[in-house]
Structures are given as C-alpha cells and as structure tokens.
Chains A and B, each alone.
Chain A
C-alpha cells in the first residue's frame, strides 16, 4: 500500500544521481564476485582460477549493469505511455466532454497564469539593473533637504548614495507653445549607481552637476520619438527647459523607467552649497558597496542619522530621526501594489479551485458510465493502484491540455489585464509570459490534474466491482457518488459566494466613493495646470501679474462664470502642511497638527461651489502687506475650538513666525478618495491661505479652476490658446473637468473592482455550470425512479419540488459555508486594499440572494426537463 515510500526516493535517485547508483551497483557486483571466489577457493580451487570461474558464472558484468539500469525505468515509463494512449483514444471518442473539461481548466489556469505573470514581473523578477539586490531605498521619511543628502554622503562608507528630486514637471519650449513634461533632477551619479547605460550618447558623470557645466539633459526614448521624431542627430541638440537652454547628451532605452514610467527628462541636480536647506527636495537611493550587507549598511546608516539631523538649521520633531531607515529598493518600490497582487492571485486560485471542483464533478458523473469498464479491467487482473494510475494519467492529460490552452488565453488577455491596472503601476511594462510563468503554469496544470482527478479515481477504484458489473442504478457506489458530487457542488457554491461577496464589497466601496459628498459643486467645472517657468516667475514679481492676467482673460470669455487659481485641486493634488494653534499646547509649533493646505485666489470658493458657513471670504482687501488671514474647514474649527466662535482665532504654519487670523469657516471638502501612502491618515481638515499672502514661495505650479455655464469641453479646447495669448512660453497641461478628476481619483479602487468582479463572475458562471451538470446528470440517472413516481400518481409539481428541494439543501450548505469564509476574507480585503470598508450586511444579503437565485435557476432548468418525461418511456429506460 505504501510502496511509493520505498519507490519514490529510488526513482528520484536514479533520475538525478545516476553516478552514485551506478557506483553502488558496481560495489554490489564486486561483492558477488568476491563471495563466489571465496566459495570456490574454500572448495580448493586455486585463487586465479577461482576468479575466472566466478567471472564466467556471473556473465557479462556490463550487460548485467545495463539490465539493472533498464529495470529502474522501463516499467513506469511503459505503463504511462500505455495509459496516455488509452486516454487520448477515449477522449477522441467523446470530444464534447473533453472540450468542456479542457475549456474549464483553461479558464482556471489562464487566469492564474495571467495574474502570476504580474506577480512574477513586478514582485519576483529582480529589477533590471545589474546586481539589483544591493540597491536600497533610503527615503523612509520622505524627501530630505539637500544638506541632509550631502551629510549622509560624507558619512556613509558602506553605501554609495544618489538623489533625485521630488517628481516635478518642466516646461519644454522652443517650437510652438510650451509643453509640460514630466522630469526629474538627478545627482550626477544616479545612472552609474543604478548601473544603466544610455541607448545613445552618454550618462551623467561626476562633475556634470557643477554650475556652468550642468546645462545638459538626458531624454527618454518616448520623448525622443514623440517630440523629436526620433531625430538621428539628437545628441548635441539644444532644448529649452524652464527657459534655460540645455544640450541633450543622451537618450535612455525604452524600458528605463526610473523613478517612474512617466519620466521623460533627466537633468543634473545642482546642489547650491549656500542654500542647502531650502526645501525637502531629494529622494535618496543607495547601492551597498561590495562586502556590505543590508544589516551592516543599516547599522551604519542609522548611526549617521542623529548627526545628520543635528545639522538641520531648525529643530525637527522627536519622532523624525527614528523614522529613518533603509530597505531593498525593489521591495519598497513595488510595496504598494503587493497586497493587491496577492489578493488577485488568491482570487485566481479560488477560480482554479472552482474549475477543479467542476471538472471533478464532470469526471465523477462520467465515471458512473465507466464503472463497468473499470470493473472488467479489475476482473482481468488490474490492481487498484494500476487503475488509479490510469485514471490519474487521464486527468493529468486533461490538466496539461487545459493548461496549454490556458496559457494561450493568458497570452491574449495579458494586455487587457495590463490596461485595467493603473498606468502608474510600477514595472508594468516588464510583465510578460516568460519561462517562470510557463513553469508555474505547468506545475499548476499537473497539480490541477491531480486534484480534480483524485476524488473520482479513488471513488471508482473503491467501488464494489461485483455490484457494478450487474446494474448501476441504485447501487451503493451510485449513492456514494451522488453524495460526493453533492459535496463538490456545495463547495462550488461556497467558493462562488466568497468571490462574489468579495467583489460585492469592492463594488459597494467604489459606489460609496463615487457617491460620497465631495463638498463641492463638481459639474461645469474645468481645471488645468498653468506652469510658467520658475525663472520667469523670479523675474516677474512672483507671477502675480501673470496669473491675474490669465484670470482676466478667462473672465472675458463668454459663458465663464467664475475663474480662480489654487495650488492644489481636491481629489487630485492637495498639499499637506503642519499647523500651530494659538493657546492650544496640544497643537503647538513643537507639536504641530497636519492639515491639507490650499493657497487660493479670492474667487476659488465660488468657483468650486464650496459654501462659506460663517464669516467672510477672501477679497481684494487681503493684500501682501495687510493683516494675515486664513479660512478653516468646519471639521478643524470643531476640533480646535469646540463650542467657541472660531472667527478671530489665531493659527499659523508651524514653521512661520506670524500668526494669522481666522476670518471664516467653510464646508468640509474631500481632499482624497484614496489617501496617498506617505500622507498621514489622521489629517482631519484643510486650511485656506489667500494667494496674495501665500505661504509657498514662487507659485509656478498653480491650477486654474473655471466654472462655466455650458459645456466645459468647449472651454477645454480654447484654454491653451487663451493662456498663450497672455504668454506663449507658459505651458498648459492636464486640462480636465472636475468629473474627470473624480473619475481619476478612484483609479485604483476601480481597477481592483473591475478585476475582482470579472473573477467573481467567472467563478459564478463556472459554479452554475457545475450545479447544472450535477443536477442534470442526477436527473438523468433517476429517470426510471421519476417515471415510477409519476406512474404512481405524483404530478409534475411534486416531482419538481422534490428535486429542487434536495438540491436546495446542497446550495444552502454551500452558501452558509461560503458566507462564513467570505466574512473572514472581507476583513482581510478591507485591511489590504485601499478604499474598501469592512463587511457591509446589505452587500452580503444581496450576494447571498444573487447566488441563491442563480443556483436555483441552474437547478430548475434541468429538473423541469425531468418532469416532462413520459412515464412509459421513462420506465423502459435502462
């Protein structure tokens, strides 16, 4: 019974350790020879002669060895081949059945292969940089000031570090209107640290960042192709970036995507020694030098932190220094999508399970018709083991065929899958079906074949053979089979409930997000980014005149109601700041409170339709030199001054000296639907500053918001031209209606919801097919019984009721089981996916109802067929 315990290691050994087992054979034969010689010598033969005699008796040693080696393989290979041939023949005889099974498996494996190719390409495959394991992320606290970067650079011995600026845009001007492109300033060693080369030209070298020599740029492949039409002479060409001419020295390969897939331009980051603490400007990455490991590098890094933080010209909070850390760059880069991928993989595995159960049930149903064949084989001397093996070979063949078909499915659906995922998903371009995905799918196919083949194989081989040689109706094996297939059907229902309720929660959460009160009037609202170059703003009175000209221009357009500028758009790019409240030690400058921060022009509130609840709005009397004023959101007013009048209270950004007076309270506005990771989740409200007294320096990244009477699309078309009339060197980008921004703000929950819903539907359909096939097979097996009942006077309704009620028990069990499982899983889901709330009873009830009704329909259709049988025909059946 447990022969495989002995056999398996032997097989593996002869497969993988041929040399060793050959040696053992040698030793064994040697021993035989010597024993034989000894025996002959004892009988009085001279040693030399005894040796020859022994050799003669043994026969050709080499031949024996070969025969022994043959013995190890021959039997199982031959049997497998025989089984395979038989399996192929029997499937060809019944192609419909094989097609359904292969199709079901293909769906299951296909989904898994596709999702695994994401997991593989994004999480498992090393970054496409040489020795990528030694790359680390050193930006656990977010960006650091230039001074801190320099401080670390001087202190770290086991780590070389490089920096890139906080993701920013540049105005690319020259021919025609300026365009806004996405780019980043990088330290001159960033490319060499990553170990990448350009496709054309050169990478940055040490010294490139020194003032005067740094008027150079490297462009991305896509920018080269689109903006410069793939110009052969791109190297050396001059471009104007933010009004500064730069020479292109390199073009990166198409697959280079650091720091983001959207990055189109890299320029050297100039570190101004006299102004190193102006801004938290640099993200820091590093490469461990040979001999260092992550522990030693971390120890050194952490030891350096207190010294570097002590150099800050202002005092950081006590929690700041301990937050510094380093971690593997790859792990941290793809960290955000990891839970999503694992959940998707989990869902895919559930689908595969449903598919397995489905096929197991189909095989089980088919096995009833095969019982006689099997019995005859057994009677002719096939052992139980041999029969199980034959059946498993058949199911493995189905598994592999289905797996191959699934891979084809995955291959064609991969691009669809990629397009459903957010475009900013890291490494998405690297995802492909490679040898790892192939291996995974093969393994999965074999495993699948084993799983769905095992139950029917064990069932058939244990059947009472004598019984099945007689009549199959009503035998004990028939009952056992029915019970097993009912259990499988219940399992299918349970799995379907799990997936559908998961999808239900996601749909509900997404619906809640899109329906949530934003606090704004979002229709007829259009937004755009207006980006003058920073040099332009430095020269022109901080661009204040420019922006007021743009606003005037907008107001002159017929149909425009209100126009305003702001430094951030709700649900899109709201900035964060820290606040101190006067006379409130718990929100003091030492212990500042995080807030959303908007710097806006006076018409911002009416343009966005945000109601002013108390006090007054900003107006033209609020000037740079007049009393400093702010507006606060209602939630903040309630938090800071519960039960008091907030008007006249004093607050300020915690790093500033001058207090500012609250002049009004406005309606709460939803800042984000999915709060960015690096933002504190406990931010409870926003503060508005008038743009004339702005807290940011040169405003070069303002958004225009315009409320129109009619179709916003009309203005969207005119916008670039209108701004160009004011100043053609200013780039206009990201022209969107507020509704589009709301749509964008749920990109991630929406893509999760889409994928999960598709998976759930797949599982549900597979489950329904399963129930349908179980019931229709069960009914056809019972045709005779039904005939008897109807002949005895039962009417159609009674028969129908009987069958449906029996199946309803199975469905009920499955739903109960599924709901319990789903309850646990939904909590997990809520913890791991952004924007998902935990279990919502209404969704659960809806899901249960949906699955029940669908399952009952799948039961009803085949049941009804049974009742339409003519009793006389039914009695002749069999």
Chain B
C-alpha cells in the first residue's frame, strides 16, 4: 500500500457528491467509503472533509438531516438534492473531458 494520494482541489466535492448519490451517508461514512472504493488509494483529509460538506450543503447541492447511524448513534446524514444530482452529472462530464484531455497531453509528450 503506497502513500495515500492527496486529492486535487475540487475533486473532493465530486467524490462526496458521488458517494452520497449512492445512498445518504454521514461524514465519517463518506470518508470510509471513499477510501474503500478507491482501494485505499484516496485518503480523505478529515480536516478538509467537513468544511467541504458544509460548503456543498450551503450551495444547495446536498441536504443534511439527523438520523440514527448503524450503531444507533445520532449522526448527520447527507443526501443529494435534485439540483445536486444535476450538478454531479455536469461535473462528472467535465471531469471525463478533463481526464481525457490530460491523458492526450501526457501521452503525446510521452511518445
């Protein structure tokens, strides 16, 4: 297992939106799930996670509500709003474009 990669500014938002799109989840769960899904490559810096969650909430992309966690503790669950779903789609598309473009560049310099 290599050193976890730091996330590019802005990609964290995308990841959070993607995770809560699958199912409503609390902050700790989101961090865990990102780590799991990225096969331990992406380590979410906790200090960045909560500000990001709050920023997304206040932008209206995600909504928060209090609920019971799997171990019966009160936790703040985040879920995707309809606007958020649309936003996620746009962001995902632009991410795809960006990564393809970056690949083009990298490959051309490589050859």
* Residues of chain A having any CB pair with chain B under 8 Å: 1-7, 10-11, 14, 24-25, 27-29, 31-32, 34-36, 38-39, 57-60, 63-64, 67-68, 70-72, 75
Contacts and interface: CB of A to CB of B under 8 A. Distances in A.
24 contacts: A3-B81, A6-B63, A6-B81, A7-B59, A10-B57, A10-B58, A14-B58, A27-B74, A28-B26, A31-B69, A31-B73, A31-B74, A32-B27, A32-B28, A35-B28, A35-B29, A39-B32, A57-B46, A58-B46, A59-B47, A60-B47, A64-B51, A70-B51, A75-B59
Contact of A75 (B52, B53, B58, B69): B58
A68 B54 contact: yes
B76 interface: yes
Contacts of A32: 26-28, 46, 50
A1 B26 CA distance: 25
A499 B62 CA distance: 49
Label chain B's interface by main secondary structure: helix
Those 5 A-B pairs whose CB atoms lie nearest each other, nearest first: A3-B60, A59-B47, A67-B51, A71-B55, A35-B28
A3 B28 contact: no
Contact of A31 (B26, B45, B82): B26
Interface string B52-86: 11110111110100100101011110000111001
Contacts of B59: 3, 7, 75
Contacts of A10: 57-58
Contact of B60 (A7, A25, A60): A7
B40 to A, nearest CB: 14
B28 A36 contact: yes
A14 B58 CA distance: 10
Nearest to B63: A6
Interface in B2-56: 26-29, 32, 45-47, 50-55
A64 B50 contact: yes
Given A36-B28, A58-B47, 11 more contacts: A1-B82, A7-B58, A11-B58, A27-B76, A31-B69, A31-B73, A32-B46, A64-B50, A70-B51, A71-B58, A75-B55
Interface residues of B, number: 31
Nearest to B62: A6
Contacts of B74: 27, 31
A64 B82 contact: no
A1 B75 CA distance: 28
A693 B29 CA distance: 104
A72 B54 contact: yes
Residue in B27, B29, B58, B73 whose Cβ sees the most chain A Cβ within 10 Å: B58
Nearest to A381: B94
B57 A63 contact: no
A38 B71 contact: yes
A72 B28 contact: no
A68 B83 CA distance: 21
A67 B47 contact: yes
A25 B71 CA distance: 20
Contacts of B76: 24, 27-28, 31
B25 to A, nearest CB: 12
Given A31-B75, A71-B58, A59 B46 contact: yes
Residue in B45, B47, B63 whose Cβ sees the most chain A Cβ within 10 Å: B47
A68 B51 contact: yes
A30 to B, nearest CB: 9
A65 to B, nearest CB: 8
Nearest to B83: A3
Nearest to A3: B60
A1 B61 CA distance: 10
A588 to B, nearest CB: 79
Interface string B82-108: 110010000000000000000000000
A29 B50 contact: yes
A169 to B, nearest CB: 70
Contacts of A7: 58-60
B50 A28 contact: yes
A14 B55 CA distance: 13
Contacts of A36: 28
A35 B28 CA distance: 7
A58 B47 CA distance: 6
Nearest to B86: A1
A4 B28 CA distance: 27
B27 A28 contact: yes
Contacts of A57: 46
A348 B4 CA distance: 67
A14 B59 CA distance: 13
Contacts of B28: 31-32, 35-36
Contacts of B54: 68, 71-72
A72 B58 contact: yes
A59 B43 CA distance: 14
A32 B69 CA distance: 11
Nearest to B43: A57
B15 to A, nearest CB: 17
Nearest to A33: B28
Contacts of B61: 3
Residue in A4, A57, A60, A71 whose Cβ sees the most chain B Cβ within 10 Å: A71
A132 B70 CA distance: 60
Contacts of A67: 47, 50-51
A35 B69 contact: yes
A109 to B, nearest CB: 32
A68 B69 contact: no
B28 to A, nearest CB: 4
Given A2-B82, A3-B83, A36-B28, A63 B47 contact: yes
A25 B46 CA distance: 14
B83 A2 contact: yes
Contacts of B27: 28, 31-32
B11 to A, nearest CB: 17
Contacts of B82: 1-2
A67 B51 CA distance: 6
B50 A68 contact: yes
A34 B73 contact: yes
Contacts of A64: 46-47, 50-51
A7 B55 CA distance: 11
B66 to A, nearest CB: 8
B57 to A, nearest CB: 7
A36 B52 CA distance: 19
A72 B50 CA distance: 12
Contacts of A75: 55, 58-59
Contacts of B26: 28, 31-32, 35
A406 B63 CA distance: 42
Contacts of A31: 26-28, 69, 73-76
A4 B46 contact: no
A864 to B, nearest CB: 52
Contacts of B75: 28, 31, 35
A34 B47 CA distance: 16
Contacts of A71: 51-52, 54-55, 58
Nearest to B60: A3
Nearest to B61: A3
A59 B31 CA distance: 14
A4 B60 contact: yes
Nearest to A68: B54
A827 B58 CA distance: 51
A3 B28 CA distance: 25
Contacts of B45: 59
A122 to B, nearest CB: 44
A369 to B, nearest CB: 30
A361 to B, nearest CB: 32
Contacts of B58: 7, 10-11, 14, 71-72, 75
Nearest to A60: B47
Contacts of B53: 68
Residue in A2, A3, A64, A70 whose Cβ sees the most chain B Cβ within 10 Å: A3
A14 B47 CA distance: 21
Contacts of B47: 58-60, 63-64, 67
A56 to B, nearest CB: 10
Nearest to B51: A67
A14 B76 CA distance: 17
